Each structure stands twice: as C-alpha cells, then as structure tokens.
Amino acid sequence: MRQIDHFIVGGAGGGATGGGRRSDVFDPNTGKVQASVTLGTQADLDRAVAAAQAAQPGWAATNPQRRARVMFRFKELVEANMDALAHTLSSEHGKVIADAKGDIQRGLEVIEFCCGIPHVLKGEYTQGAGPGIDVYSLRQPLGIGAGITPFNFPAMIPMWMFGVAIACGNAFILKPSERDPSVPVRLAELMIEAGLPEGVLQVVHGDKEMVDAILDHPAISAVSFVGSSDIAHYVYRRGVDAGKRVQAMGGAKNHGIVMPDADLDQVVADLSGAAFGSAGERCMALPVVVPVGEKTADALRAKLIPAIEALRVGVSTDAEAHYGPVVNAAHKQRVENWIQTGVDEGAELVVDGRGFTLQGHEDGFFVGPTLFDRVTPGMQAYREEIFGPVLQIVRAASFDEAVRLPSEHQYGNGVAIFTRNGHAAREFAARVNVGMVGINVPIPVPVAYHTFGGWKRSAFGDTNQHGMEGVRFWTKVKTVTQRWPDGSGDLPRGSEDGGPSRIQDAFVIPTMG
C-alpha cells in the first residue's frame, strides 16, 4: 500500500511523529483503497513551523526578482510533468483527465501572475508630503502563512495560495484535503526542484486535529481556507480569535438566469458542462437554472432532457466521458439523499441519476446526471449545496424575481445571465448580490490577475484569493515618513552629541499642510 507522508524538512522521510492515525485514499473509479495518508498532530506541525521559521527570513531577504525566477522554473517543471500530475489527480479525485489538466492549468495561471511579483510589490511614494518630508509605503511578508484546501481542486487552490504567499516572501505550510493529497505533495517537491529553499513550502496532512493545531499556532500569522461553509465559518472564528489574518471561502449554489431572448442551444451546451462537469463538484458549478417565463422554461426543459440523457459518465481516464465518479462513497450517498429530499419536498424529478452503475466498475462512486423541475425557494434541496451532478430548474415569472433568487440565497459565490440584451445584462450585474458574475459565461472564474471570491456564506473575511487582493492578504503595509536634515545646527539632534539640543522636536507631530 502506497503511504503518503508529510513533506516536512528535517523529519525522517517527512514521516509522522504523532499518534500514527491514517486515512484511506480511494480510487473513486473502482471504489478501492489505493493509498494511505498520515493524519498529523501538533508535534508534526511544530516541526514544520520550526523549519519554516529557519527558512523564512532568508527567503524574505531574497530579492523579488530572484523569488520570481523560482516561479518561472516551477511553471516549466509543472508543464513538463503535466501528464503525470493530471493522471495522479484524476485517479484520487475522479475528474476526467482533461478536467484534471484544467485544474493544474488554472493554478499555473496564478504562478504566471506571481512571476510579476517585483512589479506588484513596488509600493507607493510621495515626495514632499510636508516641508522636507517624504512618505513611502512598502509591503512586507507576514512571516509564516498556512493554507487549508478542499478536495475538489487539489492543484489549483493550493497554487492560488502558496504561489502568492511565497512570491511575497512568506514561508507557507499547506494542509491539503486528506481525500486527494498526492498532487499537493508533488507540487511542493517541484517547487524545491525549481530552486525554492527547503522549509519555505511544506505540506502537512491531517483532519480537524491538524486544522486546529494550525489555527492555534502562535507562529502562524495568516490562514487561507477553502472548503464548505460551516467549516469555513469555524476556521474564520477560531483563527481570528487567535489573532490571525484569515480568509475563508465556503460553499456555493450558483444560479444561471435564462432570459426569453437567450440562445437556448448555447445555454444547454453551457449548462451541460457547468452543471455536470467534474460531477458537479465545483464551487463555480451552475446547479440552478432560472428560466424567465413559462415559455422559456418549457423550451429549455425540452432541450435539456435529451442533452442530459446523452451525457457520458465514465471512468476518469475515459477520454470520451463528460464526467467521472464523485470523490467517495459517503459523498455519493449524500448526493443521492439530496435527490430523495427534493422528491420528498415535491420537486418534479425529470431525470433520475440514482442507482447508476458502470459496467466493470460496479463499486465506483458514480452518480448519473439528474434534473429537477419546479424547484421552489422554500425547499431545503434548493437552499443547500448538493455538490453533485444535479441540476434544478427554478421558474421565475419576471426579471425582478430572477434577480431576487440568487440575491436572497444564503450563498453568493457565482451567478450567470444568458441574454442578448445588453441593458438586462448590465442591470443584472449591477443589482445582483453575488461576488462573481458571468454574462453569457456560465462559469465566471476570474483570470489570475483579477481576483476570486464570493459573498455572503461563500466567503468569510474580506480579502479575495489571488490577483492584487491575494498580494494584500499575504503582506502587511508599512508606511514610512522620513525627513533627512542637512546636518546644520538648527535641526533636531540628540543632546548627547554636544550640539544644540532640539530634542523637543522629536515629540512634535509634523503637520504637512
């Protein structure tokens, strides 16, 4: 059995020193255990923190251009290892290979942003803010940062975090999901191969015990979390209580509004990928579609049914498959339970994906594509995130009602509108109470040099991931107000040098006006 251990500098093979707890890592295609991952303890974290403390000052003192060069080399190494990484990712997560490559590629785009870190860290300068006074501000690293990541993007989300944190001069400790931990470890190895000093990026594995140890550790200054909302909220509260800077991204229930003038064939093609791609296990998936008007709803439903029935569910290495299995047996059960809840609450089950099996892979964690119609806002199956291949039609009578649905939902990650009408799109983007908006773009994940983050219960804290928001999160601003006297006698001096004493000047707050 393959053993997946921490990636900690100075440990015997990175192995655990703790209580020896481990967790199974499955191949969701077969349902079989393929590896076992260490569940770490406080003692493991302490070793990682000690190594990070030793490495970080030297890394912060490395000039930003040299730090950027590590990012350039890392990008090349990841590209050279793309096939192997995608294969490992797919075999632990269950997403198809093309999707696994997309996961890695979207993370690499953040690394590309980090290649420009010298530029974005330049700071600000005011000459002559007062008589003989200049003011400048600079961004300094926080010290040691940590990231706690979900199973659904085991390459992209770690790179969102460690790319920016490390480029800014921090050391970083990553606690990836215990369900698919191999790719994060491999990425850390490649960072070292790219020239990163040992100790600047480390990986510790674990569950709640390790997360709590991170949140409470006094030497860790900032924590970035991505996962489900209840845990995000818990991480936010506990981390802030311990005096840390915390950003904690949570769950989602993204809506796609379909206006009567939309190109329905395009909408159906977009929804096929956005609702069912990666088995719906994306925080930017589109599991709710809101056609405006009964006519639009009926026409959309008529086109959706054959498109959904034509979807090919297959093993993650099947190049023809639209999507693969969900991550584990518990999650398959959870998705199927939500389908039952929808039925019990009175929604119309149009296509039922429960009980789906794939010949030759009967124990794999597959869920067939599922479509509900006449879902209403009062239903629990509407209010909660299902995170599976389940699409819900919620019919709206008007544009105003369609704007209200995502705006009033507890989650506010992404939303899309499909229309040919620029005015409707513009109104929608201005009014909707959601963090990321797509206009005829079903999955509006912003590019790396913009920033990613939702609203309401989709994100706790106030700083987004990557782009300049990420740089702000991983640095603290220092503002320096300076005056350089010319050395003549009437300027401030200490009395100890025997010159005229104007020490009282040191206690006067200079006015700039």
What's the distance, Cα to Cα, between the start and end of the chain in Å?
Answer: 72
Residue 251 within binding range of ligand NAD, rule CB under 6 A: yes
What is the amino acid identity at position 396? A
When binding is defined by CB under 6 A, the residue of 18, 199, 227, 461 that contacts ligand NAD is: 227
Query: Catalytic: 168?
Result: no
Q: State both tokens at 71.
A: 């990012």
Q: Residue 435's CB: how many other CB atoms inside 10 A?
A: 23
What is the maximum alpha-carbon separation in the chain?
93
Residue 208 within binding range of ligand NAD, rule CB under 6 A: yes
Strands (E), 279-338: 288-291
When binding is defined by CB under 6 A, the residue of 252, 258, 358, 434 that contacts ligand NAD is: 252
Closer CB to ligand NAD, 157 or 290, in the complex: 157
Residue 226 within binding range of ligand NAD, rule CB under 6 A: yes
- What sign does the CA torsion over 487, 488, 491, 497 have? positive
| Binding-site string for ligand NAD from residue 406 to residue 435, where x marks contact by CB under 6 A and - marks none | -------x----------------------
Inter-residue contact 388 to 333 (CB < 8 Å) = no
Listed in sequence order, the DSSP H helices in 151-247 are: 156-167, 182-193, 208-216, 229-241
Number of residues that bind ligand NAD (CB under 6 A): 26
What is the amino acid identity at position 475? T
Residue 223 within binding range of ligand NAD, rule CB under 6 A: no
How far apart are CB 107 and ligand NAD at their closest, in Å? 12
Q: State both tokens at 229.
A: 């909302």
Residue 149 within binding range of ligand NAD, rule CB under 6 A: yes
Catalytic residue among 114, 115, 168, 283: 283
| Binding-site string for ligand NAD from residue 378 to residue 397, where x marks contact by CB under 6 A and - marks none | -------x-x----------
Residue 151 within binding range of ligand NAD, rule CB under 6 A: yes
How far apart are CB 134 and ligand NAD at their closest, in Å? 40
Parallel/antiparallel/unpaired status of strands 32-38 and 459-460: unpaired
Residue 248 within binding range of ligand NAD, rule CB under 6 A: no
Residue 178 within binding range of ligand NAD, rule CB under 6 A: yes
How far apart are CB 166 and ligand NAD at their closest, in Å? 19
The per-residue b/e assignment along 451-466, b for 16 or more CB within 10 angstroms, e otherwise, is bbbbebbbbbbebbbb
Closer CB to ligand NAD, 262 or 274, in the complex: 274
Inter-residue contact 379 to 347 (CB < 8 Å) = yes
Residue 308 within binding range of ligand NAD, rule CB under 6 A: no
Residue 150 within binding range of ligand NAD, rule CB under 6 A: yes
How far apart are CB 152 and ligand NAD at their closest, in Å? 5
Distance CA 73, CA 339 (A): 46
Q: Residue 115's CB: how many other CB atoms inside 10 A?
A: 18
When binding is defined by CB under 6 A, the residue of 24, 46, 207, 401 that contacts ligand NAD is: 207
How far apart are CB 230 and ligand NAD at their closest, in Å? 8
**Segment near ligand NAD (CB under 6 A); pick from 2-10, 100-108, 147-155, 260-268:** 147-155
Closer CB to ligand NAD, 40 or 227, in the complex: 227
In a 13 Å sphere around the CA of 21, the CA atoms on its Cβ side amount to: 13
Parallel/antiparallel/unpaired status of strands 411-412 and 455-456: antiparallel
What is the amino acid identity at position 486? D
Contacts of 160 (CB under 8 A, 6+ apart): 107, 110, 224, 226, 452, 465, 466, 470
When binding is defined by CB under 6 A, the residue of 143, 239, 250, 412 that contacts ligand NAD is: 250
Q: State both tokens at 472.
A: 């702000």
| Stretch 459-498 residues interacting with ligand NAD (CB under 6 A) | none
When binding is defined by CB under 6 A, the residue of 182, 392, 458, 464 that contacts ligand NAD is: 458
The owner of tokens 């990841």 is 78
Which residues are known to be catalytic? 283
Binding site for ligand NAD (CB under 6 A): 148-153, 175, 177-178, 207-208, 211, 226-228, 231, 249-252, 283, 385, 387, 413, 454, 458
